[in-house]
Structure 1
Amino acid sequence: MKSSSPNTSYIADRPNISRIILIACAAALGGFLFGFDTAVINGAVAALQKTFGASSGMIGLAVSSALLGSALGAFIAGPIADRQGRIKAMIIASVMFTLSAIGSGIPFGIWDFIFWRGLGGVGVGIASVIAPAYIAEVAPANLRGRLGSLQQLAIVVGIFIALLSDYFIALGAGGSAEGEFWFGFTAWRWMFWSEIPPAILYGVAALMIPESPRYLVAQGRDREAANVLAKILGGNVEAKVEEIRQTVNREHKPKFSDILSRRGGLLPIVWIGMGLSILQQFVGINVIFYYSSILWRAVGFSERDSLLITVITGVVNILTTFIAISTVDKFGRKPLLLLGSIGMTVTLGTLALIFGNAAIDPVTGNPTLTGSSGIIALLAANLYVVFFGCSWGPIVWVLLGEIFNNQIRAIALSLAASIQWIANFIVSTTFPPLLQFFGLGSAYGLYTISAAISIFFVVFFIRETKGKELEEM
């Protein structure tokens, strides 16, 4: 992009809302791929285990290998974003998504499958950092919460589309991921290949949106920043550029030591960001989206019905995210988090109680839900998704884009997102062994404890950021 003076014809008294929303949606496509890539394996888990003769521990690693890649991607996203810009980081993620989607459908064994999933995970990690940071940097303060929630909406839509495509691909292959689908290839391979079109679209969309004005100012490209601000925010853009420049001038080039305190440890706000990330995963939400098809099969549902239940759960997740988008800038971040924590504690506790007291099938060794217990479990599981979807799902991403000041935002967000993926990896990898050796009751009991801890974390450590400019953080 060439430097030029700002075109004053674009300056308006009010922000160009439609343009801002389109830009935010394009950036949030990374969130869509984030959700799609991590959830698409749901329908293929049983087929992968049978195809490669893998143990439960190896399948846990195969499912969660993308998460290790995501931790790496999140950690390197900050330096890439600060040196190369937000747009180039999005394009790099797009390329990784595309290569991973192709490779995951043509593995010769479980180990090269793990490699391709890990590569896609790096793209997921980069996208998980860039989207909230970019959206926070282009959005006006009064819309930032709702626009920041687009990241989570994109994630849950991506999860839903992945689960829906899994369902219909399996349906077209006779109701099983192991059946033959198009051109003689098995259905589970097409589940991964279905990610190729949105991965390419993400890269194309990234080329059509402007660079972050805060990144441009940090690079000394003030005129380009003013031009971007004029087109999206309007008003006195020169004053806004000067405000950003003052924060940049007070700060040096971002580096990891910026998030360290004088005593050598991490800054308190960084610990809070990491705490949000860990608790978001330790409540076990991704067990629902990574393993729900085998989870419901374990308690007696057919493969087709299990996939359908998973699709319904995806719809619930989307609808509740809309609740968060419509209320986050009205009620604030902290009240929604607190409501979600209480609701998740109750619903997870219900699931732990039901599965912990369920009769065990002597043949399969799985719990059997009889009478009304199956219906109650389904309701509790979906209510759990409701409470997560209107609180900890979207609000954590909003807060991670907001709570760090301009100097440390990219680096601190990278660290927090990396920790989030590691926590996700721990939960996802341990679930199959927990299910096999201790049962669903024990697994949900652990997630219930984490949800209860999150209540106290919100009360004592989270400060409200509603309506504040990023330069005030």
Structure 2
Amino acid sequence: MNVFVFLLSCVAALGGFLFGFDSGVINGTVGALQEAFGTSEVGSGFNVASMLLGCAAGAFFAGRIADWLGRRWALIVAAVCFGVSAWGSGIAGGSVEFVIYRLIGGIAVGGASIISPAYISEIAPAAVRGRLASLQQMAIVLGLFVAFLSNFLLAGVSGGASDPLWGFQTWQWMFWMELIPVVLFFLGLICIPESPRFLVARGKYEKAESVLARVDHPDDAPAKVEQIRGTLNAAHRPSLRDVRDTARKRIYPIVWVGILLAAFQQLVGINVIFYYGEVLWEAAGFTEENALLINVISGAINIGSTIVAILLVDRVGRKPLLVWGSAGMAVFLGLMALIFAGSEVDASGNLALTDMAGVFALLAANGYIICFAVTWGPVMWVLLGEMFPNQMRGAALSLAGLSQWATNFVVTITFPMLLSGIGLGGAYACYAFFALLSVFFAWKLIAETRGKTLEEMTGG
């Protein structure tokens, strides 16, 4: 593998790391924020989910901004937003101010979630594109793990997220820790070149050829530029209109597949574990300290599983991984639903799991995480970065990203309501149903893209 391509991919994947960190850091601060701001359960749920509204907006506009400014400059804008959000979330004095800063962070997360895998796909040779694009998911789970570990260590030093630490409350430091990778991301972006496919779209053929010569075989660069030119409409720059088949007066089917693919990744409820892990396991009868430790363990399992995905995605293919991952998730989610539904409730309203039931719940939860992390976690990002034709890639990614984050918002904000309404058992039965549905979606509608160049993708 070209070392230069790998380094470029790592820099772009730092956007995924910040995506994961920003998503996971809220996990250990939910109770402290509710206490600090005096919010209700609904208000606390909105504090957690508010970032996702920014994510939806960031994802929707990211593709269009990337088609306008370029992939590299769009990521630089995202890096600045990450920094503003990390600092502001820690200094917020109330829910309104906190939500504003989280929305800014959401715009950054949404933008990075779309542009980072697109950039990696556009600079990676076809033979290793799946593995390199999977670095995005690896970075996301590393970000989640580091956020969980940081929260656990900081709370361990101070005694709890609401306790004072170095002149401030611990939850504030939890947010400020993100500034370290933000600076690294910003500095890395200054050094990387623009995507060659964006350069061709802008008519900068010599620059595109120069980049392609460094990321692939130099002798193939001129022919590659001409091949990319052949997939672009020289009459106009890429725009949102490109997702519509004007002859048949409909949106191209491949765009609908991307929208549904992004939605199903969230409908299986994975981010309930990552956003509400502490709340979930405390509701299941674990202490705050043990709940935070479980988050760290789950994060480590997520990392190991993603390494397996990187090894498999270019060998097994995208479609088989999605089908088998959906089936596995449906089984483990169903087991969790049965365990939670069959457990008694104590006087405080929390589940009173027996020791054996607690062990089985943890095993099922981690089995579910493994199934997700080996398959749907990375494969969705790989497919979104490569499945669309060059002309519509930015616009189609905008719509798929909007779908992903809007669904994420709905799932996240409804979990506290499901928890108080139908309980953990009912909530996980819903997620199991969508996992089962995604088996048929992946089997019937997903086309294999392994080994194909981006120029071979069609919008039919």
Match of 1:297 among 282, 285, 291: 282
Q: 2:126 and 2:94 mapped to 1: Cα distance?
A: 49
**Paired letter, 2:40:** S
Change (3 A) 1:218 1:46: same
Compare 264-273 and 398-407 and name the one that shifted more: 264-273
Q: Are 1:22 and 2:13 counterparts?
A: no
Secondary structure of the structure 1 residue equivalent to 2:251:
coil
TM-score computed with the length of structure 1 as normaliser:
0.95
Match of 2:202 among 194, 210, 219: 219
Match of 2:304 in 1: 319
Q: Are 1:328 and 2:319 counterparts?
A: no
Match of 1:189 in 2: 172
Match of 2:268 among 264, 267, 283: 283
Deviation at 1:249, TM superposition (A): 4.4
Match of 2:360 among 376, 399, 417: 376
Structure 2 gap segments, 5+ residues each? none
Q: 1:167 and 1:436 mapped to 2: Cα distance?
A: 26
Q: 1:20 and 1:288 mapped to 2: Cα distance?
A: 33
Match of 1:386 in 2: 370
Secondary structure of the structure 2 residue equivalent to 1:236:
helix
Contact 1:95/1:200 (8 A) holds in 2: no
Match of 1:66 among 39, 51, 59: 51
Match of 1:10 in 2: none
Match of 1:93 among 78, 85, 96: 78
1:436-467 per-position Cα deviation (integer Å, ceiling 9, x unaligned):
22210111010000000000001110110000
Match of 2:402 in 1: 418
1:138-176 per-position Cα deviation (integer Å, ceiling 9, x unaligned):
0000000000100000000000001110000100111x1
**Paired letter, 1:45:** V
Deviation at 1:371, TM superposition (A): 3.3
Q: 1:230 and 1:107 mapped to 2: Cα distance?
A: 48
**Paired letter, 1:136:** S
1:38-94 per-position Cα deviation (integer Å, ceiling 9, x unaligned):
110000001111111211111111101111000000111111111111110011000
Structure 1 gap segments, 5+ residues each? 1-15
Match of 2:157 among 147, 172, 189: 172
Match of 2:34 in 1: 49
Deviation at 1:245, TM superposition (A): 1.6
Change (3 A) 1:64 1:228: same
1:387-442 per-position Cα deviation (integer Å, ceiling 9, x unaligned):
00000000000000111000000110111011100000000000011112221011
**Paired letter, 2:434:** S
Q: 1:231 and 1:148 mapped to 2: Cα distance?
A: 18
Q: 2:234 and 2:301 mapped to 1: Cα distance?
A: 46
Contact 1:251/1:407 (8 A) holds in 2: no
Deviation at 1:295, TM superposition (A): 1.0
Contact 2:212/2:221 (8 A) holds in 1: yes
Q: 2:178 and 2:439 mapped to 1: Cα distance?
A: 37
Contact 2:114/2:397 (8 A) holds in 1: yes
Q: 1:277 and 1:403 mapped to 2: Cα distance?
A: 13
**Paired letter, 1:448:** A
Deviation at 1:261, TM superposition (A): 2.7
Q: Are 1:160 and 2:154 counterparts?
A: no
TM-score computed with the length of structure 2 as normaliser:
0.97
Match of 2:25 in 1: 40
Match of 2:440 in 1: 456
Match of 1:4 in 2: none
Match of 2:121 in 1: 136
Match of 1:127 in 2: 112
Q: 1:434 and 1:69 mapped to 2: Cα distance?
A: 23
**Paired letter, 1:205:** G
Compare 48-57 and 251-260 and name the one that shifted more: 251-260
**Paired letter, 1:258:** D
Q: Are 1:261 and 2:251 counterparts?
A: no
1:76-119 per-position Cα deviation (integer Å, ceiling 9, x unaligned):
11111111111100110000000000100011111111111011
